[in-house]
Structure 1
């Protein structure tokens, strides 16, 4: 059974179709998924550039190295654990912020005739 039982057909001109196709392609979404996101009050973000994934792999590798150093330092007692943990937490937060900034859709501003709840008046 379909989750969406209502079909809506919309006619667009050539320019609108090109914009829709272009914008949807930039996000990696289908036209339908792109339109549903807009209807639900979100503007999907463009796919991250290819080097984003390489940067994320590097950051994760750094995090793994820090973790290995922490284990070694804990066994030998040659590293201040609190300072190291603080740096590891900063790295984790930075990775999360990068992922969020690049991949999460943004809430769009109110449309004319809508209240902050997104519902018509």
Structure 2
């Protein structure tokens, strides 16, 4: 005979009275952690601090990388316009800039993968 796994269905609920604004804030916080409102409140009540799905430090790193890409793109555009100020730069310099743009894009993809944590890490 197989043993039945305990579930919360039929268990005793706990009622918490909140204002509509408080309810909206709790629901928003639960969404940020990737949990239902019930699971979020249960975790908090049991002393577990749920992690946000997004990592603010990584988001700031993405913003910096995006700025780097913008500067590199502007430099590439200047070179392609045959501006007299860029006459001393040859094809090898432009290829190096393109390689740098590609490397920066690769870095951005790696950071983006780290920004959204898998649910199993929560």
Question: Please, what TM-score do these two structures have when normalized by structure 2?
Answer: 0.49
Larger radius of gyration: 2
Question: Please, what TM-score do these two structures have when normalized by structure 1?
Answer: 0.50
